[in-house]
């Protein structure tokens, strides 16, 4: 049974307060006796877990989504904002085009505030846990490990979104928050602290938990590997990558090996099972946000972050978060079944099924809805033109990966559109394999990365491919699917440069539409080249991208919200390029 993220009334009165909670007196205050009881402490920890899905719950999480679809894919070359046109949540359009992203953008302030609310939930639980003994709360140390894990996660999100952030622990009182500078620590120092927090969490956490959804020792080690990998790419003050730290890369390899050898994880046998709630908390799931329906709450603990992101058709959705033509083209494969790293975007795959003119990676139709192609297990019709809300602006492609099939018993019928019990992966085992491969390649040990990348590709190759709408056999596929493993010296020349291209492209294909792509580009120091090259081609297809451009040294991070600078009395310093 999943850990249930239930907002208890007592916890809500403490944590889900209004935006001015730091400088206003609470109307009512729970006693330490209540909060420090075993029941109160458990309520506080559950409240911190609930923040993974957004501390706002159903009241506006879609405007500051914890799934990072806006921040990690719409800001990359993999997705368009979608919806009812560029004025439909215009703040997100600014994020996509990198034009008019001002420190006064209310949704940036909202995201910052909600992440710090989430940090405070973890801190509140840690404060109470520090006051009790193991005799009073037998799971004290385990819960401390969980709260350290969650706090580190929230700070990591803050770091990669805003870079210059105030960092503190549970020993800082609320009234002192505005006195903490956001430049006290550098990016490297903050990432070092976050990695250390995950290491401390791992020391306290068990290898497995009785309730799926709770953090474990190996989830903490995996997250420590991720943060360490980010830290290995040293950034200058202008956000460019200055060097890559081999010592930290070796640490990544060691941490990934611990997870691979001892964590008990493995890839699901079929890629499409990642989009089926029946396979939540599988062996591939290292750490995931838990969602549910029919759990006693009004609509269930569904994914409010993705409220806007279902197509019309059987979902009747709002049509946000549409895959880009660039992403579709990325799934082309050559005569050897390998990606076309340098030429994939020279021509466009057709909007409708293209008559098998081009080989494609099967993950294309696992992840993306295309006209005329079967949509999951839906029997009403294949994906059709009227499923798209604003095709003149954003085209016809839709995100297929994040939705369960319309007939699934795990989907809410009606509002919230497309809402379901499908978990959202923060880390899955494929991440760990490719993090290790990336570190090995940058260490000059690229040949050791081959079996790791191939393991991910082999799962796709062995998956059940999408069938034609009117198929006549079990091999009557919807497209010409062809994916091969890398065989150095046979079908590729596995140099360091080639291996780096293969790894980075594999991450693009495997984790498309999972909210990670933009952060990868910034970590690698290639965001300017990739995104401005993307805009140059895409503006010929999407007129709203005519003036889109990425400015190096500014757009790697969001501006510090002006409301937060005001809150600090001017103590907080703005990120470069936004003054």
| 3-state DSSP of 347-362 | CCCCCECCCCCCCECC
pLDDT truncated to tens, each residue of the chain (579 aa)? 455 443 333 333 333 332 232 233 334 455 566 777 989 999 999 999 999 999 998 889 999 999 999 999 999 999 999 999 999 999 999 999 999 999 999 999 999 999 999 999 999 999 999 999 999 999 999 999 999 999 999 999 999 999 999 999 999 988 899 999 999 999 999 999 999 999 999 999 999 999 999 999 999 999 999 999 999 999 999 999 999 999 999 999 999 999 999 999 999 999 999 999 999 999 999 999 999 998 776 667 899 999 999 999 999 999 999 999 999 999 999 999 999 999 999 999 976 655 688 999 999 999 999 999 999 999 999 999 999 999 999 999 999 999 999 999 999 999 999 999 999 999 999 999 999 999 999 999 999 999 999 999 999 999 999 999 999 999 999 999 999 999 999 999 999 999 999 999 999 999 999 999 999 999 999 999 999 999 999 999 999 999 999 999 999 999 999 999 999 999 999 999 997
86 lies in some domain: yes
- Please give the model's pTM, rounded to 2 decimal places: 0.94
Q: For the domain that residue 316 is a member of, what is the CATH number?
A: 1.25.40.390
Fill in the DSSP letter of residue 468: P
536 lies in some domain: no
Q: Which domain holds residue 477?
A: 304-515
Residues 118 and 242 in one domain: yes
523 lies in some domain: no
Q: Which of 141, 190, 143 is CA-nearest to residue 162?
A: 190
128 lies in some domain: yes
Residues 439 and 328 in one domain: yes
Residues 384 and 495 in one domain: yes
Residues 452 and 331 in one domain: yes
Report the Cα–Cα distance between both ends of the chain, in Å, rounded: 50
Residues 333 and 212 in one domain: no
Angle 464-388-405 (CA atoms, 0-180°, nearest 5)? Answer: 35
Residues 244 and 339 in one domain: no
Residues 135 and 47 in one domain: yes
Distance, in Å, from the CA atom of 189 to the CA atom of 166, rounded to the nearest integer, reads 12
Residues 353 and 444 in one domain: yes
274 lies in some domain: no
In contact, 284 and 268? CB cutoff 8 Å: yes
Residues 242 and 356 in one domain: no
| 289: CB partners within 8 A, 6+ apart | 52, 53, 66, 67, 303, 423, 424, 426
C-beta atoms surrounding 32 within 10 Å:
12
Residues 205 and 343 in one domain: no
SS3 458: helix
User: Treating both helix axes as pointing N-terminal to C-terminal, what angle do 429-442 and 217-232 enclose, rounded to 10 degrees?
Assistant: 30
384 lies in some domain: yes
531 lies in some domain: no
Residues 133 and 218 in one domain: yes
Residues 196 and 318 in one domain: no
In the chain, the number of structural domains is 2
254 lies in some domain: yes
């Amino acid at each position: 049974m999943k850990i249930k993220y239930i907002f208890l009334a007592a916890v809500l009165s403490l944590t889900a307060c209004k935006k001015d909670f730091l400088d206003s007196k609470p109307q009512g205050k729970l006693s330490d006796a209540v909060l420090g009881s075993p029941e109160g402490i458990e309520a506080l920890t559950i409240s911190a877990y609930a923040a993974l899905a957004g501390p706002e719950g159903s009241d506006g999480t879609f405007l500051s989504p914890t799934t990072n679809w806006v921040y990690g894919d719409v800001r990359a070359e993999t997705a368009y904002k979608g919806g009812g046109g560029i004025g439909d949540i215009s703040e997100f359009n600014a994020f996509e085009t990198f034009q008019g992203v001002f420190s006064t953008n209310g949704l940036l302030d909202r995201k910052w505030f909600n992440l710090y609310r989430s940090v405070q939930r973890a801190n509140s639980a840690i404060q109470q846990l520090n006051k009790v003994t193991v005799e009073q709360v037998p799971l004290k140390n385990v819960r401390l490990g969980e709260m350290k894990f969650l706090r580190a996660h929230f700070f990591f999100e803050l770091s990669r979104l805003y870079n210059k952030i105030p960092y503190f622990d549970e020993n800082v009182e609320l009234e002192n928050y505005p006195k903490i500078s956001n430049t006290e620590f550098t990016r490297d120092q903050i990432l070092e602290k976050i990695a250390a927090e995950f290491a401390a969490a791992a020391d306290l956490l068990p290898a497995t938990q009785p309730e799926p959804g709770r953090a474990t020792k190996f989830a903490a080690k995996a997250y420590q590997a991720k943060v360490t990998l980010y830290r290995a790419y040293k950034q200058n003050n202008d956000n460019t990558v200055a060097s890559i730290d081999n010592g930290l890369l070796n640490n990544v390899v060691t941490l990934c090996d611990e997870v691979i050898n001892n964590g008990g994880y493995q890839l699901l046998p079929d890629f499409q099972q990642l989009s089926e709630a029946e396979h939540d908390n599988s062996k591939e799931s290292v750490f995931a946000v838990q969602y549910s329906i029919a759990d006693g709450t009004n609509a269930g603990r569904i994914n409010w972050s993705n409220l806007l992101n279902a197509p019309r058709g059987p979902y009747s959705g709002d049509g946000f978060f549409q895959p880009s033509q660039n992403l579709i083209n990325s799934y082309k494969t050559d005569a050897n079944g390998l990606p076309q790293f340098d030429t994939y975007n020279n021509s466009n795959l057709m909007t409708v099924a293209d008559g098998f003119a081009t080989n494609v990676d099967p993950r294309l139709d696992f992840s993306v809805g295309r006209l005329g192609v079967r949509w999951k297990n839906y029997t009403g019709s294949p994906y059709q033109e009227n499923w798209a809300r604003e095709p003149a602006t954003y085209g016809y492609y839709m995100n297929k990966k994040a939705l369960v099939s319309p007939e699934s018993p795990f989907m809410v019928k009606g509002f919230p559109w497309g809402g379901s019990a499908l978990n959202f992966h923060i880390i899955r085992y494929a991440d760990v394999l490719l993090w290790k491969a990336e570190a090995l390649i940058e260490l000059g040990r690229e040949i050791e990365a081959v079996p790791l990348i191939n393991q991910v590709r082999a799962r796709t190759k062995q998956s059940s491919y999408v069938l034609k709408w009117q198929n006549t056999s079990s091999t009557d596929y919807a497209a010409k699917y062809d994916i091969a493993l890398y065989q150095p010296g046979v079908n590729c020349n596995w140099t360091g440069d080639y291996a780096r291209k293969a790894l980075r492209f594999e991450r693009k294909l495997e984790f498309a539409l999972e909210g990670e792509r933009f952060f990868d580009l910034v970590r690698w120091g290639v965001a300017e080249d990739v995104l401005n090259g993307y805009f140059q081609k895409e503006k010929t297809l999407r007129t709203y991208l005519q003036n889109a451009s990425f400015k190096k040294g500014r757009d790697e991070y969001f501006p510090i919200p002006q409301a937060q600078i005001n809150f600090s009395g001017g103590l907080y310093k703005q990120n470069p390029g936004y003054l």
